[in-house]
Structure 1
Amino acid sequence: MKWKEFVEIAGNLPVIDTEMLLAGVANPNSIKVQISRWKKQGKVIQIKRGIYALAEPYKKLDVYEPYLAALLKQPSYISLEKAFEYHGLIPEGVSVYTCITTKRPGKIISKLGVFDYKHVKASLFWGYTAITVNKQTAFMALPEKALLDFFYLKGIKISPDYLNEMRLQNLRDIDLDQLLAFAKKFKKPGMLNVAKVIREYVGQEKDKDKEL
């Protein structure tokens, strides 16, 4: 396969999955060798084994990083700090995509982002929604689930002081009834306590807003 032909095939794709690209090809090894050469020449970027993206100036479509997070390990959804950023719960940007998966945990570091996958059992894999940009679909934790995932996976003892340290904002957007319902689904007393402390904290913050 010539480079021009490869670009015509892959140019409009956000990423290149070699398994799909090579399906039905008579001599897949020769194409794998070519891709390896193009990687050394800086024409393609390897994200993980079998997954590539065209480098500048060859790509026609930017990769939506949340989509990449969903693609690299399936099933998975973005949660914790990156979900806080997405929902406007914290003021700062977050560079690492922390994701929840039922598969093995692990971290993928690439030129297109850092993706850290945390394992949970299947009974806790819920509380997320689909988001689509440029026909690239990803999965993002709802704000209530992101908060619960954070304390569940970090094992941090929750307190009003710790919530202050997190510099949370826009807490009025949290659905407190849903937060409690989600906490009950964990079937752990500690998570009910997390929901209770957050509910009380949000209530106090709302009271402060009324006083202003």
Structure 2
Amino acid sequence: MESIPARETIKRLKVAKISLFTPTTLQQILNNQNYNTIHKTLMRLESQELIIRLGKGKYRLSDSTVSSFTVGNFLLQPSYISLETALNLYGILSQFPYISTSITPLKSRKVNTQGIDYEYVHVDKSLFWGYIKTDDYLIANPEKAIIDTLYLASKGLRGANYNEWDLERINKPRLISYAQKVRYNPFQKLFAKLLLI
């Protein structure tokens, strides 16, 4: 198949409002099913610095402005921003995390791209809920970020300095309702301590 010029490829991605993409996305945009052509197109775009390779099969337009949260969701799907990152964003945790933390039902992993560290922490599929779409990324709502953090702390996988948290703006009925969905005794004991502060 005939290759499409680099500028035309970029134009098509921009018209479709796509800043982050995979080879499959590019195939759809270019109406091209030939893998070799797509691979060569990606290599050409990367060598001309029109795109940036974020990881295996994950790309970003060089001149696009995409939030690190959006990139975090894109690098590993499904995932949503949670834990320290969400707690800080909501003003619950005052300390600024140096790693963008997310929850996933997939295997835990760490990724570094463009100087940003992303951490994906595994939870069972039954706990993969309580997130919302904000702008163009998925993030735990404040109460679920607390539940995620306490759950992982109760398993000994993470610390939770809940004495330092600002819980003033938390929807306590929702928090309690969420906690009741977690059927794990060590979590329930830790959650009971949180309610006492």
- TM category (shorter chain) comes to 0.7 to 0.9
Distance change (3 Å), C-alpha of 1:63 and 1:113: same
Q: Residue 195 of structure 2 is aligned with which of 195, 199, 209?
A: 199
Offset from partner CA, 1:25-81 (integer Å, 9 cap, x none): 1543133123224324433211122221122xxx2x411332222232222211100
| TM-score normalised by the chain length of structure 1 | 0.77
Kept in 2: contact 1:176–1:199 (CA 8 A):
no
- Confirm whether residue 174 of structure 1 aligns to residue 174 of structure 2: no
- Once the 2 structures are TM-superposed, how far is the Cα of residue 114 of structure 1 from its aligned partner? 2.7
Distance 1:68 1:157 in 2: 25
Residue 159 of structure 1 deviates from its aligned partner by: 11
Equivalent of residue 123 in structure 2, options 116, 120, 124: 120
Conserved 8 A contact 1:158-1:194: no
Where does residue 41 of structure 2 map in the other structure? Answer: 34
Identity of aligned residues (%): 26
Q: Does the 8 A contact of 2:81 with 2:103 survive in 1?
A: yes
Give the distance between the partners of 1:38 and 1:159, measured in 2 at CA: 43
Query: Bigger shift: 14-23 or 25-34?
Result: 25-34
Contact 1:47 1:112 in 2 (8 A): no
* CA RMSD of superposed structures (Å): 2.6
5 Å-filtered alignment, 1:132-171, equals 132=135, 136=136, 138-154=137-153, 155-156=155-156, 162-164=161-163, 167-169=164-166, 171=167
Shift of 1:189: 1.9
Larger Rg: 1
**Count of paired positions:** 189
Three-state SS of the structure 2 residue aligned to 1:39 is: helix
The Cα offsets for residues 101-126 of structure 1, whole Å up to 9 and x where unpaired, read as 11222222211733221121121111
Q: How does 1:101-120 map to 2 (within 5 A)?
A: 101-111=104-114, 113-120=116-123
2:7 paired residue number: 4
Over 4 Å off, 4+ runs:
156-160
TM-score normalised by length of structure 2: 0.82
